[in-house]
A and B are shown apart, each in its own frame.
Chain A
Amino acid sequence: MTAGKKILIANRGEIARRVIHAARELGYATVAVHSDPDAGSLAVREADEAFRLPGAEVKDTYLNSDKILAIAKEAGIWAIHPGYGFLSENAVFADDCAQAGFKFIGPSPETMRRLGSKVESKLLAKKAKVPTVPGFEGELPSGKELEKIAAKIGYPLLIKAAAGGGGKGMRVVHKAEELEEAARSAEREALSFFKDKTIFLEKYLERPRHIEVQILGDEHGNLVHLYERECSVQRRHQKMIEETPSPSIDAKFREEICAAALRVARQVGYASAGTVEFIVDEAGHFYFLEVNTRLQVEHPVTEAVTGVDLVKAQILVAEGHALPLKQEDIRQRGHAVECRLYAEDPENHFLPAEGSVGVLVEPQRPGIRVDSALEAGKPVLSLYDPMLAKLIAVGFNRKEALMKMDALLRDYVLLGIRHNLDFLRYTLHSKVFQEGRYHTHSVADILAEYLEKRGPDKPAPDLAYAIVALAGKGGAGPAAGAEAPRAEPLSALKGFKNA
């Protein structure tokens, strides 16, 4: 039935490989697209066909929808899988795919558009009787009127840019005296970044948790949830560790939040895999945040406890099949945790690191899944997302899953580039994580403790210096030193200006 049908993967790295493997399992041929620096990547070598997106910058390559569509035409594909990031939530691209006669593997462009708008998705949630964070979305007045609105919501407040994302144009206001100035400066920042100065007010939750629900729907009106993921371990608004089930909720809460997610999804007749995100306050109330109309980075933890392959499910739904499972077929079995391996230096404010993969050992063990596109000898470029790999552990219960993860983090070897493996392990061992009592600001506290031990000024264990001495010339005889070829990642790119 799928003979000769091709799927183009408009992405790179681990997620491109993940989709290639799923598509191949279902009998599809796969088409990779790649930027110039990615020409020799694992995803490109694993795909049945590969096409070049000339350039290195994402806007010229993985965001270049015209070029991707031209390749799709040339390769004669059936569907495009966008992965996450890049074009995955771009409704215009989904429209263009449909017009060109390609299936976009994801929800309909209309669904993407409605849920992609912060204002409309919030209205949909309200209509579905799902609580949203108290706030004010209308045009904000100034002076006394503004203060009145703010007082009604209550302090502390969060000012957000309507067109914003990633913390830009965001301000936390603790008292009325700070309000006016914070509002004006947020407007200026919003204008300079998004050319739109519209801002809105929201109640600021002090120690919130981030819990999301995986949903899966088809084009025949079937819709199920695959339970929650707890994603509160974050740094710089980006997730670092995710787990399921959430250690902080009970069965009743779980039932309520999953039902709420389904009510939101039903408003738009959601057909594909998606994620409804919530924040939860300290009193245990949850509020709708947004819907991600795509595959999430952290989807493997859900797969690990439910046994459902979400990427294959997306493809089957895109083919027009009905979901092969009913709600009562889906259970959470055991516990899964995911750690994101980032090319960044926790000892230096999580700044992105560049370098090359000198030594790499990715352990394979029962209950361990490593979604990675790393290869020894390959450069890691700051052009793209700093996430290098996802390490997933599944156990009979949480304790076992965390023990497996600890051993995996200890034994995973990646040398030649700064990364966060040690900080992940430290976080895993922290009291708040072990007890499952963490919130979205916990990482800041954990980092402060970590830096006491592992700050840039702190010496390494003595043994490390001895190894370095031995690794030097004349140390351990003629075989001394793992002299891997020195990669020059920056100069490998044309047009780079680099000292």
Chain B
Amino acid sequence: MKTEFQIGGETAAAEWSRDGDLVTMRLLERELKVEILRWEPPFFSVRHCGHRIHGAFYRNADFVDVHLPKGNFRIRFPKAARGGKAAAHAGGLSSPMPGKVVKVFVKAGEAVKKGDLLMMLEAMKMEHKILSPQDGKVKKILFQEGERVGQDSELLEIGE
């Protein structure tokens, strides 16, 4: 079987097979053997490198969160496999977090320089500045002051 992951912006494929409770996986040139001791989603117990490990997982459309004694890890699937968020088009600036637009510092048509403060977002008492990534002109402002934005919402468009 094959499962693809997104690791640091790259897509990595894992080849794996299962024989009863034994799972063998090859990922990034490494081989890994895991024995399933208990599989009762969201909880599991496995034997790995001679240790019994108890953990939990949570599956969503874009990712799986895994809890191990070592820590908590979000494993993402490649963007294409997620079935479809359109990639932000060139010049677009998107919101790095869900929140509210508290201030818009520019107007459509205004010339801006790289590093200029364009917008201020706020979420959970925290502010985040949206700065211009380039010299250019504000082509479009998609959200006004007081409006809520989701993560990855496109906020403004900067063009030549």
Q: Which residues of B contact A359 (CB under 8 A)?
A: 42, 56-58, 65, 67
From A56, which residue of chain B is reached at the shortest CB distance? B148
Interface residue B9 (Cβ < 8 Å from any Cβ of A): yes
Q: Which residues of A contact B114 (CB under 8 A)?
A: none
Interface residue A415 (Cβ < 8 Å from any Cβ of B): yes
Partner of B5, one of A358, A416, A468, A471: A468
Are B126 and A352 closer than 8 Å at their CB atoms?
Answer: yes
Are B149 and A415 closer than 8 Å at their CB atoms?
Answer: no
Instruction: Give the interface residue-count category, chain B.
Output: 35 or more
Are A352 and B41 closer than 8 Å at their CB atoms?
Answer: no
Residues in B56-83 with C-beta less than 8 Å from chain A: 56-61, 64-75
Are A460 and B66 closer than 8 Å at their CB atoms?
Answer: yes
Q: Which residues of A contact B154 (CB under 8 A)?
A: 499
In the assembly, what is the distance between CA of A352 and CA of B1, in Å?
Answer: 36
Q: Which residues of A contact B8 (CB under 8 A)?
A: 456-459
Residues in B118-147 with C-beta less than 8 Å from chain A: 123-128, 143, 147
From A409, which residue of chain B is reached at the shortest CB distance? B71
Interface residue B104 (Cβ < 8 Å from any Cβ of A): no
Are B124 and A352 closer than 8 Å at their CB atoms?
Answer: yes
Partner of A463, one of B3, B28, B32, B39: B32
From A459, which residue of chain B is reached at the shortest CB distance? B7
From A454, which residue of chain B is reached at the shortest CB distance? B71
Partner of A425, one of B66, B71, B150, B151: B71
Partner of A486, one of B18, B60, B71: B60
Q: Which residues of A contact B123 (CB under 8 A)?
A: 351-352, 382, 386
Interface string of A464-495 (1 = CB under 8 A from B): 11111111101111011111101000100101
Partner of B36, one of A350, A414, A462, A476: A476
Are A472 and B67 closer than 8 Å at their CB atoms?
Answer: no
Residue count of chain A within 8 Å CB distance of chain B: 66
Interface string of B75-108 (1 = CB under 8 A from A): 1000000000000000000001111000100000
In the assembly, what is the distance between CA of A236 and CA of B103, in Å?
Answer: 20
In the assembly, what is the distance between CA of A490 and CA of B31, in Å?
Answer: 41
Are A415 and B57 closer than 8 Å at their CB atoms?
Answer: yes
Q: Quote the shortest CB–CB distance from B45 to chain A (angstroms).
A: 11
Q: Quote the shortest CB–CB distance from B64 to chain A (angstroms).
A: 4
Q: Which residues of B contact A499 (CB under 8 A)?
A: 150, 152-154
Interface residue A497 (Cβ < 8 Å from any Cβ of B): yes
Are A382 and B59 closer than 8 Å at their CB atoms?
Answer: no
How many residue pairs between the two chains, A and B, have CB atoms under 8 Å in the bound complex?
185
Are A479 and B72 closer than 8 Å at their CB atoms?
Answer: no
From B69, which residue of chain A is reached at the shortest CB distance? A410
Partner of B124, one of A384, A418, A482, A495: A384
Residues in A369-404 with C-beta less than 8 Å from chain B: 382-386
Are A490 and B57 closer than 8 Å at their CB atoms?
Answer: no
Residues in A187-203 with C-beta less than 8 Å from chain B: 192
Query: Max chain B CB contacts within 10 Å: which of A351, A358, A490, A493?
Result: A351
Residues in B4-59 with C-beta less than 8 Å from chain A: 5, 7-9, 14, 16, 18, 23, 25, 27-28, 30, 32, 34, 36, 39-42, 44, 46, 48, 53, 55-59
| Partner-A contacts on B (CB < 8 A) | 1, 3, 5, 7-9, 14, 16, 18, 23, 25, 27-28, 30, 32, 34, 36, 39-42, 44, 46, 48, 53, 55-61, 64-75, 96-99, 103, 123-128, 143, 147-154
| Partner-B contacts on A (CB < 8 A) | 166, 192, 236, 238, 343-344, 348, 350-354, 358-359, 361, 382-386, 410, 413-416, 418-419, 421-422, 425, 454, 456-472, 474-477, 479-484, 486, 490, 493, 495-499
Since A415-B42, A425-B71, A482-B58 are in contact, a sample of 19 more A-B pairs with Cβ atoms closer than 8 Å, ordered by chain A residue number, is A344-B124, A383-B124, A413-B67, A416-B60, A459-B28, A464-B66, A464-B75, A465-B5, A465-B75, A466-B46, A467-B44, A467-B68, A469-B23, A480-B39, A482-B56, A486-B61, A495-B148, A496-B148, A499-B150
Q: Which 6 A-B pairs have the closest CB atoms?
A: A358-B58, A457-B8, A415-B58, A482-B42, A460-B73, A482-B41
Q: Can you give 16 A-B contacts (C-beta < 8 A)?
A: A351-B123, A353-B97, A382-B123, A385-B124, A410-B69, A415-B66, A421-B72, A461-B70, A465-B3, A469-B1, A470-B23, A476-B36, A495-B148, A496-B150, A497-B149, A498-B150
